Structure 1
Amino acid sequence: MSWILTNSAQAFDLLNPQASKVITTDLAHALSNVCRFNGHCARHYSVAQHSILVADIIALQGGTAEEQLAGLLHDGTEAYISDLTRPLKLLLLEAARQRESVWLGLVEQYASDSGIRNVVSIRAAALRILNTAEAEGVSLLLDVYQQLEQRIWRVICERFDLDPTLPASVKRADMIALATERRDLLPAHPAEWECLQGHPPLERYISKLPMDVVRQQFHDRLLQLLATTHRSRLAA
């Protein structure tokens, strides 16, 4: 079984996702229920509210309706698969690198003990067997997750006629939103987040909103942006 049952009773296949199964109400419902930061925030703060904030920031910075739509949907895959926190992704990468190092050490030791001269060739062959991505040791779990995530993202883009490559404006707005969320929703901590360098938080503070209100706001914004972007394409 590789499918999940969505709120609108769609059987959404994670291995073979279909654009026709991407339903606007499913996105709004699921994303308004999924909490950011694995729930470690001062109150329930959903991916949907984060996405609305990203779209708002893009609009404040003069971004187009197309860019705002991309910002609103940039975390849409989380409606179907849970996100992996950034520290977990880094730990998986480090674990894979360490595993690769151990295996290569064993291969080289075997070659040395056996009197085999061409250690370099054996090492290169071992790298192929270990199935690393550009010899960086990406773990199998992370690789599978990223493949599923990209597959689902592509069908979301197909459904809403979006370019799968996110604009730079979305990435900037995402970091500004994160800086604002850290200030408003997470406990104070002296550690510096390198990814937030050059991205100050907004002057305004994040409002506390009920899930049903956020769900409706997300859905309304999605339909409004779809109408705007479709009209602009037809006029082009």
Structure 2
Amino acid sequence: MTAQPHRKPITGPFILTVSGNYFDYDNPDQSDFGIRDIAHALSNICRFGGHSLRFYSVAEHSVHVSRLVPKEDQLAALLHDAPEAFIGDMPKPLKETLSDYQRLEERIEKAVMARFGIPLPLPQSVKRADVQMLRTEQLHIMNNNDDWHFTYGEEPVDLADLGITGLGLSPDEAANLFICRYAELRLEANEYQEHSE
């Protein structure tokens, strides 16, 4: 039995997502993707360009970032790296040297955030929490405490404050954690809307 395509493939640059839909890099806003595509991909992408001492996914990182920000910014924090589901996690120092890549990332970010109703630019609290987690990961995943200029003097987070004892879930565990966190935040948002009407 041959799998049937969901639609005719795009003629420009594209990828086939885990849900069987095509993601069109030229027209990301017209691509068919959902939260499961994002969770699956991010849970299989290792942070630090794969140079971590143990596997640590972008999905797990994103869940932790979402727990460090005010309630109103938590969904934005969970999805702050969602474009990486389609372009991978490039280390920041390298990314800063590739202007074409940055433009592509911005185009995909606009499409992803629009899909989930998240306004851009992302809140400052998300950017700060992202750096705080980077510092935390630097210590716990990379076993390194050097002064990285792009951590802006932020201190690492105490893992106990996140309600965890360690970092480094398997891809399946990270995907499930990401999906559960997304569902939790959507449920809270729906309950808030119902009570405020």
TM over 0.5: yes
Relative to total residues, which structure has the larger helix share, 1 or 2? 1
* Corresponding residue number in structure 1 for 2:173: 213
Alignment of 1:185-204 (within 5 A): 185-188=141-144, 191-204=146-159
In 2, Cα distance between equivalents of 1:230 and 1:188:
41
Taking only aligned residues, the RMSD between alpha carbons, in angstroms, comes to 1.9
Q: Please give the secondary structure, in 1, of the residue aligned with 2:15.
A: strand
* Corresponding residue number in structure 2 for 1:101: none
Give per-residue Cα distances to partners, 1:48-104, cap 9 Å, x unaligned.
00001101122xxxx02x3010110000000000233222235x3xxxxxxxxxxxx
* Corresponding residue number in structure 2 for 1:35: 46
TM-score normalized by the length of structure 1: 0.70
In 2, Cα distance between equivalents of 1:223 and 1:183:
30
* Corresponding residue number in structure 1 for 2:57: 46
* Corresponding residue number in structure 2 for 1:165: 121
Q: 1:150 to 1:231 in 2, by over 3 A?
A: farther
Match for residue 85 of structure 2 among 72, 79, 97: 79
* Corresponding residue number in structure 2 for 1:70: 76
Indicate if the aligned counterparts of 1:20 and 1:159 stay in contact, CA closer than 8 A. no
Q: 1:31 to 1:16 in 2, by over 3 A?
A: same
Q: Please give the secondary structure, in 2, of the residue aligned with 1:12.
A: strand
Is 1:174 equivalent to 2:130 in the alignment?
Answer: yes
Q: Which amino acid aligns with 1:78?
A: E
Q: Which amino acid aligns with 1:215?
A: A
Unpaired runs of 5+ residues, structure 2, are 1-11, 160-164
Higher relative contact order (CA 8 A, sep 6+): 1
| Percent pairwise identity | 40
Of structures 1 and 2, the larger Rg is shown by 1
1:199 CA displacement: 1.3
In 2, Cα distance between equivalents of 1:25 and 1:89:
26
1:19 CA displacement: 5.9
Q: 1:224 to 1:188 in 2, by over 3 A?
A: closer
